[in-house]
Structure 1
């Protein structure tokens, strides 16, 4: 007999419990969105249970779906249970419908996926995939969507044998799976899986969440004091003989006595004492004292003139000796009871029940603090120094109540995902946050050993998609599917080299991050913190890039280091004759010949470049002010394009980003309009807005310098239309800015004062001014 321990088997209890919880939520939750989401989960768990019972799903195996190899991406539910669905299968998607509409009809027994896969293997489809490889305008959401891109790359490199071997592997699944990418107008920016902060940091932030005082007080009133007040009122109403006291009402208005008080009608309290009344009264008072020990936020129940406090006082007197109550005392009790019945309804009435049910519903909802504690508890079970693989791990509703969005956004900061996805989700919402995650990237880039840029980008897309695969529940010490087990990854393994070293990795990461930062936040300057990281990467790649920081106008020393001149020369070479150079009047020939150097504070500086910036700013000689400094610094930014030209020139970003440039310019323009039309009262904030919108305008002009004439004209038409949709006052104020752009696009230039057009109405848009800015009016 064997002495080996038996292998553990999968218990279906977990599946049944998940199914039960999902059913409860889908049937009983008040929010239809939550019910629909729960219903979808129920369907997934039913698939798991059905597959396990029928033997088509083998939980615990690397290949849990019958007839499906390990490399196929599966739909995996909580706990690592495969549902039987394949993520690259499923309903035909909109981009597929669009392509199918252009294809000729085929036999009825040919599936739509077969038709699409076959088309991409034809001449026209291969040309489209080749163009996608070149431009990067595609997305690979699951690894299978990169398989035919790999085939295309192999065929274009003369590796027909490898391509055919790969196709043989894919062929059995071409009737079901998408082996082609999703088209996208913006080039894919390769990125690794990163997180903004660790799980431990998020737990600490959740622990700091405090309940808003007004919400906490409301909940205390609804949960504690209202029920006790109701019980106190009901005790006294039991002592009434005849009709319950109430305030007289005629034609919907209270009937008032000569003294202005409401007229009370109905019976009188304290006329009878039902059996057990005194013990129930004592219990109410004991319950009040017990609750008061732990619930102290609301002081109203203790207010001596409040009805609740007065009734408790009368209750004590009734328990001591009700015969000592005066007629005035009983009248006061009657008046309180009448106000209660008139305001809320009599006990047992439908009206009162509706109010109390709604209050109970509100009181039963978890508070923000309770939700935060729940999320923190869920996260504590995960490794604190790592990230979160999926929000599904913590986002389950709590007793049927969905987790508040603002708390899930806190948790998202620990979500591990490709950097471009975190940008899209808003988790990385600025260049500053991008700089925080940047050090994580170089250690996670999987394509460091690939020289070909198209294959490098594809490899990175495949790797990022593969990392999004959810892990399976595995038994018997099996290992998860590895990246190299994907047949199309194995097919390109010989083209990966291990000797390119750190320089190739640094350059690749530099390209990725620069592209993502500029494309994702086109309206903002690359922040200094991010520039520090980019400079470090450039140094690691053995690139001497003159990346220049944004200088603070209040501490500007009146000179510039040599790298500012170097950056300006790069810009002059790149932009000579282009829209940007003409709009800002860049002296390209002068910059290309300028070559002076002077040691100041131990650094090489360019006095002539500083003089040129001062002259262009029209800054007053011999003076000093923040505004004066700002005008000079702004001219340095204009001449250097604040790093755009350097990055575009060295990294060939004009070609990489060309499909996205018109949209990036539109983003800049609309951001400028939004900022300029905001109501801003503080003067300093208005100056900051003016500076930032001028910077965004400058970046927009730079991007437009690399688009074709038809796209440029389309941009101007859309911009004019958008401006005319704004209010009349803004249109009048901003008209010179748009007219200035149109003036230069038409082939004209500004005069020395930055004006052009009839009567000089067209103007160059700059952010700094030593006097009041003309765009601020007045």
Structure 2
């Protein structure tokens, strides 16, 4: 196949995101939200300006003109590069202090980078390497550490080659680390966030407006109101006013008697009211409070300033409040206020969050928490006297637990790691150590590990034309130390063990979701370190699908057909019995070998989901779903390569049960729009597929039990979902779906994508 024209991304997505950010920046009531939205506005403007000028080619692995692939870019949502380099930042004060006067270079950054090539700079880099007192936040920040390491070992040619690659960007990029002790977790523990991030989040906690208004009423206005009511009640000449059953007012009249101290009490009350109003604003104009207060303002010492209508309003206002809450000094009113005062005295969420954030001050900003016991416990008098004795609630401790350093399994159990995406965030902390274990020199190994962890924080680019994300070993300074990495048996075994444990954890903790791309990439890194060549495949976005697949998809499908032969999954999804050996002739597109027979099979199978209509994205989605079905989206490959079949049989009934339950619950959730409904159907079908995969490793008795429970749970969805359950039951009993995905008895195969109306949808776009 001849080389084809290279596709580029459309600006339409970026324009839509810019519009959303602008609306949020202009309309949100939350200042922090407006600021974040304003930053997104700037980012999307940079994207659009770059695309319009030709500086940005979104869809390429080198989207910024005249920029090597290894440079870490700022990437907006959806994989759009903004054109900004993350390692490009003004010099900090400590950096400026290092730059000598009249140093060569066009910029301060270049002058500083060149200073590190002198004796003094190289000595500082060497000390940092040996002591470990540095932190790498962006991969580029370890580049000159590697140069210094090479020079110390008299590897002058390698150091010169590396310097030549870095030199064109020395005027812009920071190639040195932050010289401060690193608090990177070691061993088998990880953390989701450093202390500084968790503390910042806690300190942003505020009292929600409705709660703040309630507390203001309880703490400020209720005491003032009770004294205001008492003032007017003291002017009543008989029994206090009351309301009859039909709403009439009976009892005495206000403004008939005037106690000797009334004028003084009135003046004092008004002073306190005006002071409170200055801080908190005034009460609603038509409230009983506002009417009694306004009358008090106009009534200095007798009723001459008030009309008869106004006195009548005072009488009714008194009757209303006495009817609702009791008379001043009564047991009913006292009991009500006691309850309300107890509520008002409780510390707010924001107060307790601030206490917790202050307790985090005892720990390094870039470190973690060894245990939650160090920040748990009742609030002390020294912290907040008014909240002394209050207990830190569990949901706040859960936020702080994001900085807890613990084994991955414990963080999953605590709910800190709540999805495969979050698991992928923390896994590089383990992977980096396993990869670095192949380096004999401990100082280089430490720098290597920190660089890997920083590299994994890079956001993925939107890529077209079958291009792949930048790989870690494409960083010039990592490539420069490749000769110093040995394949150690111990490190290989440790990687294999970690891969096995992580896979089991991901499948058992989140059985309803497919493995997300970041996790697939990390599992791939572990597999490579374990010397396992696994055809792990990524989820491809339907709007950028190029119509074909590379050969690893076909290899993964071949494994799935072999592993699942004769199982419920193979019968339900009509997997091919086997894949023939590859022809010697290989097809290529954009320089990549492609599996055209696999792509053709996916396209043919996708016709089942074509119900008439649907745009190119929906049609792409139907094809991509078939690729996931044929490959089981990595499940079969991992189970087979890691020899997890026996382990999976032990937990398969529970995993399938949980995945089915999640799928049913997903369909009970309300849908705001037809788009969210279609998204819900897609996620339901993905969970359904996962459940069937696990169910295929159950014996017939367990399968029957799971299907019985599925039928009971899905009954709440009524006849709309019944064909999906029936179709699965029919296939389990030996029936088959026809070309339209139906059984002879009315069951239907559940797929997530549809080109045209989906039979499970309740609304039509």
SS at match of 2:427: helix
Kindly provide the CA deviation profile for residues 385-410 of structure 1, in whole angstroms up to 9, marking residues without a partner as x: 22233333334344344434443332
SS at match of 1:618: helix
Match of 1:765 in 2: 750
Q: Tell me, yes or no, if structure 1 residue 723 matches structure 2 residue 701.
A: no
Match of 2:628 in 1: 637
Match of 2:639 in 1: 648
Equivalent of 2:257 in 252, 271, 275:
271
Deviates more, 1:580-589 or 1:631-640: 580-589
Deviation, structure 1 residue 739 = 3.9
Q: Separation in 1 of the partners of 2:194 and 2:705?
A: 46
Kindly provide the CA deviation profile for residues 421-478 of structure 1, in whole angstroms up to 9, marking residues without a partner as x: 22222221110010011112246789x99xxxxxxxxxxxxxxxxxxxxxxxxxxxxx
Match of 1:282 in 2: 267
Match of 1:237 in 2: 233
Is the contact between residue 568 and residue 731 of structure 2 (CA under 8 Å) also seen in structure 1? yes
- Equivalent runs, 1:713-752 vs 2, <5 Å: 713-724=701-712, 726-727=714-715, 730=718, 732-752=719-739
Deviates more, 1:593-602 or 1:368-377: 593-602
Match of 2:652 in 1: 661
Distance 1:499 1:283, change over 3 A: same
Equivalent of 1:356 in 337, 341, 353:
337
Q: Separation in 2 of the partners of 1:713 and 1:745?
A: 12
Match of 2:377 in 1: 396
Match of 1:132 in 2: none
Q: Separation in 1 of the partners of 2:625 and 2:367?
A: 42
Distance 1:502 1:278, change over 3 A: same
Q: Separation in 2 of the partners of 1:693 and 1:699?
A: 10
Q: Separation in 2 of the partners of 1:739 and 1:326?
A: 78
SS at match of 1:530: helix
Is the contact between residue 269 and residue 330 of structure 1 (CA under 8 Å) also seen in structure 2? yes
Q: Separation in 2 of the partners of 1:740 and 1:307?
A: 64
Is the contact between residue 434 and residue 495 of structure 2 (CA under 8 Å) also seen in structure 1? no
- Equivalent runs, 1:408-423 vs 2, <5 Å: 408-423=397-412
Q: Tell me, yes or no, if structure 1 residue 503 matches structure 2 residue 499.
A: no
- Equivalent runs, 1:682-701 vs 2, <5 Å: 682-701=673-692
SS at match of 1:770: coil
Q: Separation in 1 of the partners of 2:201 and 2:252?
A: 57
Distance 1:692 1:236, change over 3 A: closer
Match of 1:628 in 2: 619
SS at match of 1:727: helix
Match of 1:407 in 2: 396
Kindly provide the CA deviation profile for residues 276-334 of structure 1, in whole angstroms up to 9, marking residues without a partner as x: 443333222222222223223xx316x3x544344444445554777666666655544
Is the contact between residue 431 and residue 525 of structure 2 (CA under 8 Å) also seen in structure 1? no
- Equivalent runs, 1:293-332 vs 2, <5 Å: 293-296=278-281, 299-300=282-283, 303=285, 305-319=286-300
Is the contact between residue 232 and residue 254 of structure 2 (CA under 8 Å) also seen in structure 1? no
SS at match of 1:545: coil
Is the contact between residue 434 and residue 491 of structure 2 (CA under 8 Å) also seen in structure 1? no
Deviates more, 1:554-563 or 1:766-775: 766-775
The runs of 5 or more residues in structure 1 that have no matched partner are 1-190, 257-261, 450-497
Match of 1:432 in 2: 421
Match of 2:356 in 1: 375
Deviates more, 1:200-209 or 1:747-756: 747-756
Equivalent of 2:601 in 597, 612, 627:
612
Is the contact between residue 606 and residue 626 of structure 2 (CA under 8 Å) also seen in structure 1? yes
Q: Separation in 1 of the partners of 2:646 and 2:624?
A: 29
- Equivalent runs, 1:552-563 vs 2, <5 Å: 552-563=541-552
Kindly provide the CA deviation profile for residues 583-636 of structure 1, in whole angstroms up to 9, marking residues without a partner as x: 322223334456652221121112222112112223789996222211211111
SS at match of 2:752: coil
Is the contact between residue 528 and residue 550 of structure 1 (CA under 8 Å) also seen in structure 2? yes
Distance 1:537 1:344, change over 3 A: same
- Equivalent runs, 1:112-191 vs 2, <5 Å: none
Is the contact between residue 195 and residue 364 of structure 2 (CA under 8 Å) also seen in structure 1? yes
Q: Separation in 1 of the partners of 2:298 and 2:664?
A: 71
Equivalent of 2:591 in 602, 607, 621:
602
Is the contact between residue 560 and residue 631 of structure 2 (CA under 8 Å) also seen in structure 1? yes
Match of 2:665 in 1: 674
Q: Separation in 2 of the partners of 1:345 and 1:510?
A: 69
Kindly provide the CA deviation profile for residues 552-606 of structure 1, in whole angstroms up to 9, marking residues without a partner as x: 1222111001111121222233233333333322223334456652221121112
Q: Tell me, yes or no, if structure 1 residue 574 matches structure 2 residue 563.
A: yes
SS at match of 1:590: coil
Q: Separation in 2 of the partners of 1:209 and 1:596?
A: 62
Deviation, structure 1 residue 370 = 2.0
Is the contact between residue 495 and residue 530 of structure 2 (CA under 8 Å) also seen in structure 1? yes
Is the contact between residue 192 and residue 444 of structure 1 (CA under 8 Å) also seen in structure 2? no
Q: Separation in 2 of the partners of 1:255 and 1:766?
A: 62
Higher-Rg member (1/2)? 1
Distance 1:357 1:529, change over 3 A: same
Match of 2:205 in 1: 209
Please report the TM-score for the alignment, with normalisation by the length of structure 1.
0.61
Match of 1:488 in 2: none
Kindly provide the CA deviation profile for residues 347-388 of structure 1, in whole angstroms up to 9, marking residues without a partner as x: 221111112112211211222222222222222233322223
Distance 1:300 1:561, change over 3 A: same
Match of 2:700 in 1: 712
Q: Separation in 2 of the partners of 1:640 and 1:627?
A: 20
Match of 1:84 in 2: none
Q: Separation in 1 of the partners of 2:673 and 2:218?
A: 41
Match of 1:491 in 2: none
Q: Tell me, yes or no, if structure 1 residue 247 matches structure 2 residue 242.
A: yes
Distance 1:333 1:500, change over 3 A: same
Deviation, structure 1 residue 343 = 3.5
Match of 1:221 in 2: 217
Is the contact between residue 571 and residue 641 of structure 1 (CA under 8 Å) also seen in structure 2? yes
SS at match of 1:765: coil
Match of 2:481 in 1: none
- Equivalent runs, 1:440-459 vs 2, <5 Å: 440-442=429-431
SS at match of 1:599: strand
Q: Separation in 2 of the partners of 1:433 and 1:375?
A: 23
Deviation, structure 1 residue 255 = 5.7
- Equivalent runs, 1:31-46 vs 2, <5 Å: none
Q: Separation in 2 of the partners of 1:726 and 1:565?
A: 35
Is the contact between residue 558 and residue 578 of structure 2 (CA under 8 Å) also seen in structure 1? no
Q: Separation in 1 of the partners of 2:537 and 2:432?
A: 26
Distance 1:419 1:254, change over 3 A: same
Is the contact between residue 569 and residue 592 of structure 1 (CA under 8 Å) also seen in structure 2? no
Is the contact between residue 247 and residue 255 of structure 1 (CA under 8 Å) also seen in structure 2? no
The runs of 5 or more residues in structure 2 that have no matched partner are 1-186, 380-387, 439-486
Q: Separation in 2 of the partners of 1:754 and 1:316?
A: 79
Is the contact between residue 559 and residue 637 of structure 2 (CA under 8 Å) also seen in structure 1? yes
Distance 1:764 1:240, change over 3 A: closer
Q: Separation in 1 of the partners of 2:613 and 2:289?
A: 76
Q: Separation in 2 of the partners of 1:526 and 1:589?
A: 24
Distance 1:425 1:592, change over 3 A: farther
Please provide the CA RMSD for this pair.
Answer: 3.3
Count residues with an aligned counterpart.
Answer: 519
Q: Separation in 2 of the partners of 1:760 and 1:248?
A: 69
